[in-house]
Homo-oligomer: A and B are copies of this chain.
Amino acid sequence: MALVVQKYGGTSVGTTEKIRNVARRVARTYDEGNQVIVVVSAMSGETDKLVGLANEICEIPDEREYDVLVASGEQVTIALLSICLKSMGYEAKSYHGWQIPIRTDNAHSRARIDEIDGKNILADLEKGTIVVVAGFQGVTADGSIATLGRGGSDTSAVAVAAALKADVCEIYTDVDGVYTTDPRIVKEASKIEKISYDEMLEMASLGAKVLQIRSVEFAKKYGVVVHVRSSFNDNTGTLVKEEDSDMETVLVSGITYNKNEAKISVMRVPDEPGIAAKIFGPLSDANITVDMIIQNVSNEGFTDVTFTVMRTDVKKALQIIEETAKTIGAGGIKHDEKIAKVSIVGVGMRSHSGIASKMFSVLSQNGVNIEMISTSEIKVSCIIDDKYTELAVRVLHEAFELDKINVTSE
């Protein structure tokens, strides 16, 4: 007998008919002799509808009350799924975040889980009850509802799996698993059979939308095996787990891209100690996240500093940096929103040299100019002109033979 946590997203519970399908799948897992905890999101469209109501009232709703509002969506789903399971003759019981409880910090609408008490759930599981948990929410120390941010149900599921030492945490979604890249761009993109937490973190933060990043951090921290799979078929999906020796034989696991960033350059900056702090301090004070930074080699006591920020922050960043440029006596400011970040990710890079240089030469052979580079142990990212995004993803996917990834690992 295994303890299985299953999480179903909004599209999987979007209608009562779909909820019935989820109930059948849950029941089948239970009938196979497992203990089952189901974590569900709001029915698709519901959260947007609730946010719409709040915005009819005001532009920036109070955060505590916003959480009360949007948490109601999951409440509807846990009730309907439990009603369905009980009507099929199974013992089932719904849990809100506060009923478990899932304790969070006070950061409303982006709360972090501090602690989960598994006692109540465990007692139900031992009685043979299927436990149905509202995703996306917990309760603060002062008894308020707090939500975990969009995609937070993934994190709820992984956290519950960690707290109860589940054997596996299945994340059901509308795709078959994690792909080597976006199948809308590369039709040869293939499903990855298994991927390490670190690779998944890079994939998630670099633009793949399958799992909320925080859920992967949680899974890594507690060693929860996550199985990403489709709720519409019985195919095996992608296992997200600890790195194993198999994984290292694959040089690159996936190619990601995003077009969310913009580039800002401060020209002819006097190259003196403390200048970086003067440039980036005020941005940080304004809560603007800077992603990549490059600084040219000094030339006659002057240098150019280029960095990227989220496109949504460009306006605010430019206002601040123009002020800074005056103060430090820089030569001027340039910015470019038409950039893309393309990245290759893989734990195989650690043990194989030449991966980065292969990426650079493939891009160059295809006429794609690299404007900025950043690397970590297991990824290389390049900033390029955004009109080359699809081209770059395709040629890299082919060059690293990602269309054959499943063949080698079988």
Q: Which residues of B contact A58 (CB under 8 A)?
A: 83-84, 87
Contact with B along A65-96 (1 / 0, CB 8 A): 11011011001101110111011000011101
Residue among A16, A20, A65, A99 facing the most chain B CB atoms (10 A cut-off): A65
Asked if B99 and A83 sit within 8 Å, CB to CB, the answer is no
Task: Given A68-B78, A72-B75, check contact A57 B94 (CB 8 Å).
Answer: no
Contacts of A33 in B (CB 8 A): none
Docked CA distance A83–B82 (Å) = 31
Chain A interface bracket (under 10, 10 to 19, 20 to 34, 35 or more) = 35 or more
**What's the Cα separation between A64 and B66 when bound, in Å?**
26
Cβ contact within 8 Å between A61 and B87? yes
Total copies of this chain within the assembly: 2
Residues of B within 8 A of A69 (CB): 75-76, 79-80, 83
Nearest B residue to A68, CB-CB: B79
- Whether A143 sits at the interface, judged by CB under 8 Å, is yes
Chain B residues lying within 8 Å of A99, measured Cβ to Cβ, are 143-144
Stretch at the interface among A48-56, A246-254, A284-292, A335-343: A48-56
CA A16 – CA B61 in complex, angstroms? 13
Q: How far is the CB of A6 from chain B (nearest CB, A)?
A: 18
Q: Does A19 contact B (CB under 8 A)?
A: yes
Q: How many angstroms from the CA of A87 to the CA of B56 in the assembled complex?
A: 12
Q: Which chain B residue has the least Cβ–Cβ distance from A52?
A: B16
Q: How far is the CB of A408 from chain B (nearest CB, A)?
A: 46
- Find out whether the CB atom of A84 lies under 8 angstroms from the CB atom of B72: no
- Pairwise interchain contact B68-A82, C-beta atoms closer than 8 A: yes
- CB closest chain-B residue, reference A49: B76
The residue in chain B whose Cβ has the minimal distance to the Cβ of A82 is B65
Q: How far is the CA of A20 from the CA of B57 in the complex (A)?
A: 8
Q: How far is the CB of A5 from chain B (nearest CB, A)?
A: 20
User: A302 in the interface, Cβ–Cβ < 8 Å?
Assistant: no
Return chain B residues, CB-CB under 8 Å to A62: 82-83, 86-87
Q: Does A98 contact B (CB under 8 A)?
A: yes
Cα of A72 to Cα of B57 in the assembled complex, Å: 19
Chain B residue numbers with a CB within 8 Å of A54 are 79-80, 83
Give Cα distance in the complex from A93 to B144, angstroms.
Answer: 10
The chain B residue sitting closest to A70, CB to CB, is B79
Contact for A79 among B66, B80, B93, B98, CB less than 8 A:
B66
Measured between C-beta atoms, what is the minimum distance from A97 to chain B in Å? 12
Closest approach, in angstroms, between the C-beta of A88 and any C-beta of chain B? 9
> Do the beta carbons of B79 and A94 come within 8 Å of each other?
no
Contact of A53 among B16, B65, B93 (CB under 8 A): B16
Whether A87 touches B50, Cβ cut-off 8 Å, given contacts A65-B94, A72-B72, A75-B72, is no
B-binding residues in A (CB < 8 A): 16, 19-20, 50, 53-54, 56-58, 61-62, 64-66, 68-69, 71-72, 75-76, 78-80, 82-84, 86-87, 92-94, 96, 98-99, 143-144
Nearest 3 A/B pairs, CB to CB = A69-B79, A58-B87, A68-B79
What are 17 sample pairs from A and B whose C-beta atoms fall under 8 A apart? A16-B53, A19-B57, A54-B80, A58-B87, A61-B83, A65-B94, A68-B75, A68-B79, A68-B82, A68-B94, A68-B96, A69-B75, A69-B80, A71-B75, A72-B72, A72-B76, A99-B143
